[in-house]
Amino acid sequence: MFVLGDAPAGDYAWFPENASTFAADNDWLFGMISIVCIIFFIPIAFALFYFALKYQKPKGAPAESDTSHNTPLELAWSIGPSFFLVGMFVFGAKAYLDHRTVPDGANEVGLQGFKWGWTFNYGGGVYNPELHILIDEPTKLSMRSSDVIHSVFVPAFRAKKDVVPGRYNYMWFKPTVATEKVSDAELQAAIEATKAAGGEWDHDRWQFTKDGYRFFDLYCTEYCGKNHSKMQTVVVVHETLEDLNAWIEKYSKRQEETNPVEYGETLYNQRGCKGCHSIDGSKRVGPSFQESFGNNRVFASGEAIVADENYIRESILYPKAKVVAGYQPVMPSYKGQLSDDDIYCLIEYLKTVSAHSGKTEGGENIEASSSEDALSDAETATE
Ligand code: HEC
Ligand SMILES: [Cu+2]
């Protein structure tokens, strides 16, 4: 599968890129075990067929129930291979312990897996769906899941670990290859080549994050439900601490010049809302934001209100307080994960995507509606 994996790019490889301190050992161990297995498998399979033919019962001869055995031969083929098995165990156990023993002073990043995405916590209120780390420095991920079992896999690092609800798990790795930012010249070349190819971007040749970094893949390898395959993100390995810190700073909070609606949209895309809430009216795990702000909401309890700022805020911080009728109470709480300003921006954004903001479905006015609406409704009423 590895060999075929990159076939369309003409890039045949037995293993993906080798980008962490684990990779060489892992590949060696995997290669050794594969070769030992093949060395044993082939002669055994041939011998099986050969002896089956050679010792076939001749036609008409009686079927025998018993043949004698050869003690030295049986001892040899039992004890001999056990040395290989012990060898595999020793090397495997050593590799496993390496993966479980986090070096002192490792940088910590929090990870939360959820249906369907990842959020990394860089401390100081900075959350992002991308993993950004430093080259040649060990990084420890403290991992938890908000719903079901997921599993983090970074093939280029040969690192993989389950994320289990109700408990913390951890993994660590030390990247040895940086995923540097593309140069302006290369970006230009990519654009030119795309133009020459009639507007077709070659995704095998040019894969950048939106900040222009190359990346390694990170994805879920534990089948966790319908959109399991969407649980992929990027790992960017920075060359310098300054560069990493500049990236973290950029995502730490809304920059002064960014307007709230724009930032709200960024949060919608980055913080997992998009996975469960559409903005085009289509139903996903949760209701579409087109029908949230300013609309009549009916809850599972039978209660009904018109969605205002306080309701939206409550829905984000305490999703189970009021559960919209027809939906499961599966939204994770964002308490402590979104700042007041973040929530303000999300509300401003929700207002812009709401289909009939300010009106209930029946067309009656609500408090938040504008006086113009009230006027036109009054006119229709008198007609
Ligand atoms: C795992 C899926 C999921 C994610 C992720 C999620 N939500 Fe929800 N959300 C739901 C579901 C399901 C409901 C309806 C049930 C309820 O009210 O709790 C809901 C309800 C809401 C409501 C009330 C909607 C209404 O029309 O009455 C708001 C507002 C909301 N979510 C905002 C957000 C925001 C903002 C984010 C991202 C920061 C987010 N949600 C992330 C599943 C999700
Ligand atoms: Cu998953």
Check pocket membership of 286 for ligand 1, CB cut-off 6 A: yes
User: Which pLDDT score is estimated for 82?
Assistant: 92
**Side-chain half-sphere CA neighbours of 172 within 13 A:** 20
User: Which pLDDT score is estimated for 50?
Assistant: 95
Q: What is the pLDDT of residues 289-306, one digit of tens each?
A: 998 888 888 998 889 998
Distance, first Cα to last Cα, the chain: 73
Check pocket membership of 346 for ligand 1, CB cut-off 6 A: yes
Question: Which of 268, 315, 318 to probe ligand 1 with, by most ligand atoms within 8 A of CB?
Answer: 315
Q: What is the mean pLDDT of the chain?
A: 84
Question: pLDDT-derived band of residue 284, with 50, 70 and 90 as boundaries?
Answer: confident
DSSP labels, 24-50: HHHHHHHHHHHHHHHHHHHHHHHHHHH
Nearest to 135 by CA among 248, 242, 217: 242
Check pocket membership of 32 for ligand 1, CB cut-off 6 A: no
DSSP labels, 144-213: EESSS-EEEEEGGGTEEEEE-BTS-EEEEE-B-S--PBPPHHHHHHHHHHHHHTTS---TTT----TTSB
User: Which pLDDT score is estimated for 350?
Assistant: 93
**Side-chain half-sphere CA neighbours of 338 within 13 A:** 27
Q: What percent of the chain has pLDDT over 90?
A: 43
Q: What is the pLDDT of residues 80-127, one digit of tens each?
A: 889 989 999 999 999 999 999 999 989 999 999 988 889 999 887 788
User: Which pLDDT score is estimated for 361?
Assistant: 42
Q: What is the pLDDT of residues 245-275, one digit of tens each?
A: 988 888 777 777 778 898 899 889 878 888 8
Q: What is the mean pLDDT of residues 332-355?
A: 87
pLDDT of 374 > 50? The answer is no
pTM metric for this prediction: 0.66
Check pocket membership of 353 for ligand 1, CB cut-off 6 A: no
Question: pLDDT-derived band of residue 3, with 50, 70 and 90 as boundaries?
Answer: low
Nearest to 215 by CA among 287, 139, 133, 138: 133
Q: What is the mean pLDDT of residues 203-228?
A: 87
Q: C-alpha 58: how far from its chain's center?
A: 62
**8 Å CB contact between 164 and 131:** no
Q: Which two tokens stand for residue 252?
A: 């730490």
